[in-house]
Amino acid sequence: MALFNNGWKLGTGVAVGLGAIVLAPTILPILGAVAKPFVKAGIKSGMILYDRSREMVAEAAEVIEDLAAEARAEVAQADEAGSAHTSPASEGQ
């Protein structure tokens, strides 16, 4: 039986499986109680990271909007200055 020839005897595997089934109702609640604070801390850290990243993105968007507004104002000012140089008197000549 090469299928079960992995160094463990079939009886050992069955014993480990039965032991796990018998001990699971007592061990799982203990593991859950131990793991709960770690899971909760991970969730809280994720929430804090999410909030901080939203703030950073909002600040970056505000800076980009300010730069775009300044660029628009400069383009408008350049257009007005360019149209002021071409007066109606010089166009007719």
Q: What is the pLDDT of residue 88?
A: 56
Give the integer Cα–Cα distance in Å for 18 and 29: 18
Tokens 């061990």 correspond to 27
Q: What is the pLDDT of residue 87?
A: 54
Dihedral Cα 37, 38, 42, 43, nearest 10 deg: -30
Give the integer Cα–Cα distance in Å for 8 and 73: 79
The full set of domain ranges for the chain reads 35-79
Q: What is the pLDDT of residue 82?
A: 79
Q: Could you tell me the two tokens for 42?
A: 């991970």
| pLDDT in single tens digits along all 93 residues of the chain | 455 565 666 678 788 888 888 888 888 888 888 899 999 999 999 999 999 999 999 999 999 999 999 999 999 999 888 777 665 555 555
The predicted model scores a pTM of: 0.51
Q: What is the pLDDT of residue 77?
A: 93
Q: Could you tell me the two tokens for 21?
A: 């089934």
Give the integer Cα–Cα distance in Å for 34 and 41: 12
* Nearest partner of 54 among 64, 43, 62, 42, judged by Cα: 62
Q: What is the pLDDT of residue 5?
A: 60
Q: What is the pLDDT of residue 2?
A: 54
Q: Could you tell me the two tokens for 36?
A: 């709960």
**What single DSSP character describes residue 9?**
-
